[in-house]
Structure 1
Amino acid sequence: MENGKIRPDVVSYNTMIKGYCKAGKTQKAMELLRVMESINLEPDKITYMTLMQACYSEGIFDSCLALYHEMGEKGCEVPPHAYSLVVGGLCKEGKCLEGYVVFENMIRNGLKANVAVYTTLIDAFAKCGKMEEALELFERMKTDGLEPDEVSYGVIVNGLCKSGRLDEAMEYLRFCRANKVAVNAMFYSSLIDGLGKAGRVDEAQKLFEEMVEKDCPRDSYCYNALIDALAKCGRVNEALMLFNRMKDEGCDQTVYTYTILISGLFRERKNEEAMKLWDMMIDKGITPTAASFRALSIGLCLSGKVTRACKILDDLAPMGAIPETAFEDMIYVLCKAGRVKEACKLADGIVDRGREIPGRIRTVLINALRKAGNANLAMKLMHSKIGIGYDRVGSIKRRVKFRILLEI
């Protein structure tokens, strides 16, 4: 009792903190922690773990890490799950080395890591391009008496495929088959993607078909990986057949699926088919991404339909789907294709729309000409008033147009 009032204890605060966290009001829960400190009421392990779990779930990894350090500073017992949350949060942010330090602290404090913690770290190292370190951790896990599961093997295979070490990845597939380790769709999609990118498309296709024999359901990732491989090696008709099979098997045709095919169709000069797919995507209510618009705009520019690309760009602008480099990409691809006149016309159109400051477009065009090997025109543009200077016709002041570059 204090002044006739019952003073709340740690259990009371923990109940309130848990309630706020469940209601998604993590900030309010954090404020209660500070209130506890202000009245000299020590938070316990449950207080910190409740808050750490909420912060992790909401992706507030900095707060999760800060709470972990605070527990240590206050001499509060740090349970294994707290280490798992911190390692997981750091790894999600690509901070594999920092995650490894926390992992080593856990071991030093007499706690044993589980397969999930090891797998998280292995995945993070692989994604950071540190494949040797990932493989060392994988072996250390086995030395510690832990049996890798299908997810552990999956992240190792994914890392090897991304590193171009496909033969080693295939060895792991053979090992898993021989030792009855489950091979899931993620495992297969990594191999299909890796083989496809290496030009080993027939092998990728064989694995894709094998999934049916092994009763492994194919997901969108598997389909997209093989469709991408087929489209990039010019087998776009086969890619389209797979696209239709996706629907039959109940797999989502994602914006990425459409982007791959639109790009592949434009490469094969099947422009109208590419546009039909674009319209189909929009009709299905799939929001275009920056990558999908880039595939469309570059394809249209190379097929001489710059005006159509600009019209679609105008239509998409309110949706926020236009990449910052949309015009830069279009100007660059036109210059690279030797269509400098169209690039200049596009640059003038951009300035006339008031979309970009003229100096920015001028720099883009200079760089595009230079990268396309047209250094003479780049130098002419650099030393001219085009795009940034003005000419007077009587009393009228007009910006010098980019298109006069070809008349100089």
Structure 2
Amino acid sequence: MFSSRVVRSPRWRRPISAVAFIPAGGSPKAESLLISKIAREICKTIRDQPRWEEHLLKSLSSRYPSSLFFHPACLREVLRRQSLDPLLSLRYTLWVCSSSSSAADPAASAAVFDALVAAGAGGAAMTAICSTKCRPSDRSLSLFLRRLLTAGAFQEALQAVIFLGSVFNFTPPLPVWNAAMEGSLKLGDPHLAFNFYHRMVNSGVPGDALSLGLLARALCEAGRLDEAHCLLRGAARAGLAATPGVAAFSELVSKLARQRRYSEMSAVLHLMIAAGRPPDLFTYQAIIHALFRGGLVAEARRIFAELRRRGYSPDVPTFTAMIDGLCKMGSTEEALSLFEEMALVGLKPNEYTFNVLVDHFWKKGDWELAQRLHQEMLNSGFAGNSVTLNTRLAGLCMHGSTSAAVAMLYKTPEKDVITYNIVIQGLAEEGRMGEAMGVYRGAVEAGEEPGCGAYDALVRGNCQAGEPAAAAALMEEMVMRKVEPLSRSYDCVIRGFCDVGNVDEGLLWLGRAISAGNKPVEESFDRLIECLCGAGRVDDVLVVVRKMVEMRRRLGEATCWLLIETLCGRNSTLVCDYVNRILYDA
């Protein structure tokens, strides 16, 4: 409700009124000119004064009748002059409405709402609706919702749909619902898409083929593949007009292929053809990728051949999918043959195509061919980037040329955290811990956060070098930087302290590993038990054994005999009895 507060003029000491004021002997034209003059002064004041509300009352109301000061025509004129600043217009409108309920002009408030929507101020537009009680047109409300969706404010759009429905009985048109569902999917939130769909249906808006397709894609994203298949099958039976586009079918095919549900994938492909939605290049790409991931090279080749047989001309991504799969399966010659075929059919490889081959030949050890392809990529107009650099560094480290990788790291500006991770791991694998730690510190100073793989390599390297304390310090640093250590990193530190005879630190890190939710491997338990037995610390031995049994870890045979000898001495009868008990319990 609008405020009923009475604002009193300092001159007349009477309530402000919005009754039209016509000067004695004046005319409507004279009144219009006076209102225009007042509006001009108001605009100047609200632009120049940070806290103009009090200033307006003191300055203008002492010189003009309040009936003109709060006249709806004056409000409209101020808003017209302030059209380029919708937020300030909203502030002025709210002040006028709160100062004089009869000054509220629904048309003017709706105009402010439209200006705020056009300016992309969704939150302020919602405030205008709630505070001024204006009723914008259905077209304006639809545009408002579209602006929210375009800005990625999907939750706000959902709340606005609920509010507008309850207050104005407004139901968005179908294109707005479809845009909301599609945007939710792009955001990666299928459950939000479900929410929009259910509200659309409950509002009595009949969906179309696009709506069903978006629903099917949301079901796929949520892992509900059987429901998606059932939905698409039902839509196909209803006729071509109700059948979603190829994208929905392709999404289902891709998800089924990833789960290696090939018979169901084949059924969907047949459904697509029968429904008049034949597979397109994107569908075939998804199938080819999935078949290679499943190791079904022959089937991938067959699909590629079928694609051509159906009259499709494979594009660059499709060729790249084939080349990538063949490289990963070791079919180098066939991959190169396809690469050369691309040029013959007039297709220019993209940067990813080159990177696939360069990566393959670096890892294979064929540096000459890798370098030639890399140079060909540069000659084709693709500048080197961090992906290209990382590909080369990984190949160098894999084949023992870590020094060359380090040199390349320092002279190349296009590096990222993966670049540092590769070099750190390469140096650590070679036992060059001083250099590895130097690269690590350089990464941190450059603002990069090495991954847990790089930390793990440093931890293992320090432990192998007999420096478990340095490894433990790195583990502490990981935790401080919010990087979760790998379970095997804890195992390395536990065994590392045992190897240097510091079993107390080993026990401490065993406790930390378990507290962090990890299950140390049997070798770590065995090593602790051996050290504790050697030190005659029977009570600690029993604590470790109890933890080991709780985690369903088995004692090694040699460790088991050592444990029983420690507990029972050389009494063979007791030794055999304890061995049987421990082996049974474990």
TM-score range, shorter chain: 0.7 to 0.9
Instruction: Call closer, same or farther: CA 1:148–1:365 in 2, change over 3 Å.
Output: closer
1:265 pairs with one of 367, 392, 396: 396
**CA-atom RMSD in angstroms:** 3.7
2:421 pairs with one of 278, 294, 301: 294
Q: Is 1:303 matched with 2:430?
A: yes
Q: Is 1:347 matched with 2:468?
A: no
Q: Structure 2 matches for 1:204-353, cutoff 5 A?
A: 204-281=335-412, 283-284=413-414, 286-289=415-418, 292-317=419-444, 319-332=447-460, 334=461, 340-341=464-465, 344=468, 346-348=470-472, 350=474
- Which letter does structure 2 place at the counterpart of 1:34? I
Q: Is the 8 A contact 2:320 2:353 kept in 1?
A: yes
Q: Which residue of 2 aligns with 1:399?
A: none
Q: Distance in 1 between matches of 2:395 and 2:385?
A: 16
Q: Distance in 2 between matches of 1:250 and 1:346?
A: 46
Q: Distance in 1 between matches of 2:196 and 2:213?
A: 13
Deviations 1:360-390 (A, max 9, x none): 98974563489xxxx8x7876899113666x
Q: Which residue of 1 aligns with 2:98?
A: none
Q: What's the CA shift for 1:86?
A: 3.2
Q: Is 1:20 matched with 2:144?
A: no
Instruction: Call closer, same or farther: CA 1:95–1:271 in 2, change over 3 Å.
Output: farther
SS class of match (1:181): coil
Instruction: Call closer, same or farther: CA 1:131–1:54 in 2, change over 3 Å.
Output: same
Q: Which residue of 2 aligns with 1:76?
A: 205
Q: Distance in 1 between matches of 2:236 and 2:170?
A: 27
- How many residue pairs get aligned? The number is 376
With 210-219 and 361-370 compared, the bigger mean Cα shift is at 361-370
Q: Which residue of 2 aligns with 1:164?
A: 295
Q: What's the CA shift for 1:168?
A: 1.6
Q: Distance in 1 between matches of 2:438 and 2:138?
A: 63
Deviations 1:261-295 (A, max 9, x none): 212111222223212332344x13x4233xx4332
Q: Distance in 2 between matches of 1:49 and 1:164?
A: 38
Deviations 1:206-239 (A, max 9, x none): 2112211121221122122222222222213322
Q: Which residue of 2 aligns with 1:398?
A: none
Instruction: Call closer, same or farther: CA 1:250–1:125 in 2, change over 3 Å.
Output: farther
Instruction: Call closer, same or farther: CA 1:20–1:355 in 2, change over 3 Å.
Output: closer
Structure (1 or 2) with the larger CA radius of gyration: 2
Q: Structure 2 matches for 1:121-136, cutoff 5 A?
A: 121-136=252-267
- Which letter does structure 2 place at the counterpart of 1:235? D
Q: Distance in 1 between matches of 2:487 and 2:244?
A: 54
Q: Which residue of 2 aligns with 1:384?
A: 503
SS class of match (1:186): helix
Q: Which residue of 2 aligns with 1:186?
A: 317
Q: Is 1:55 matched with 2:184?
A: yes
SS class of match (2:452): coil
Q: What's the CA shift for 1:109?
A: 6.4
Q: Distance in 2 between matches of 1:355 and 1:385?
A: 22
- Which letter does structure 2 place at the counterpart of 1:20? L
With 56-65 and 118-127 compared, the bigger mean Cα shift is at 56-65
Q: What's the CA shift for 1:106?
A: 4.2
Q: Distance in 2 between matches of 1:324 and 1:53?
A: 36
Q: What's the CA shift for 1:38?
A: 2.2
Q: Distance in 2 between matches of 1:113 and 1:265?
A: 49
Structure 2 residues without counterparts, runs of 5 or longer: 1-101, 107-133, 509-530, 536-586
Q: What's the CA shift for 1:252?
A: 4.9
TM-score by length of 1: 0.78
Q: Is the 8 A contact 1:192 1:225 kept in 2?
A: yes
- Which letter does structure 1 place at the counterpart of 2:452? E
Q: Is the 8 A contact 1:294 1:329 kept in 2?
A: no
Identical residues among aligned pairs (%): 19
Deviations 1:178-229 (A, max 9, x none): 4431111221122212211122112212211221112122112212222222
- Higher relative contact order, structure no. (Cα contacts within 8 Å, ≥ 6 residues apart): 1
- Which letter does structure 1 place at the counterpart of 2:317? M
Instruction: Call closer, same or farther: CA 1:231–1:137 in 2, change over 3 Å.
Output: same
Q: What's the CA shift for 1:107?
A: 4.5
- Which letter does structure 1 place at the counterpart of 2:395? G
Q: Is the 8 A contact 2:396 2:405 kept in 1?
A: yes
Q: Which residue of 1 aligns with 2:217?
A: 88
Instruction: Call closer, same or farther: CA 1:356–1:8 in 2, change over 3 Å.
Output: closer
Q: Is the 8 A contact 1:224 1:257 kept in 2?
A: yes
Q: Is the 8 A contact 1:123 1:159 kept in 2?
A: yes
Instruction: Call closer, same or farther: CA 1:83–1:279 in 2, change over 3 Å.
Output: farther
With 92-101 and 221-230 compared, the bigger mean Cα shift is at 92-101
Q: Is the 8 A contact 2:361 2:369 kept in 1?
A: yes
Structure 1 residues without counterparts, runs of 5 or longer: 390-404
Q: Is the 8 A contact 1:306 1:346 kept in 2?
A: no
Q: Which residue of 1 aligns with 2:554?
A: none
Q: Is 1:39 matched with 2:158?
A: no
Q: Is the 8 A contact 1:122 1:155 kept in 2?
A: yes
Q: Which residue of 2 aligns with 1:120?
A: 251
Q: What's the CA shift for 1:82?
A: 1.9
Q: Distance in 2 between matches of 1:215 and 1:133?
A: 36
Q: What's the CA shift for 1:57?
A: 4.3
Q: Is the 8 A contact 2:459 2:493 kept in 1?
A: no
Deviations 1:302-327 (A, max 9, x none): 23321222122222225243113432
Q: Is the 8 A contact 1:154 1:187 kept in 2?
A: yes
Instruction: Call closer, same or farther: CA 1:258–1:93 in 2, change over 3 Å.
Output: farther
Deviations 1:74-102 (A, max 9, x none): 43211222222333345456654454455
Instruction: Call closer, same or farther: CA 1:255–1:94 in 2, change over 3 Å.
Output: farther
Q: What's the CA shift for 1:122?
A: 1.0
Q: Distance in 2 between matches of 1:212 and 1:87?
A: 38
Q: Distance in 1 between matches of 2:420 and 2:398?
A: 15
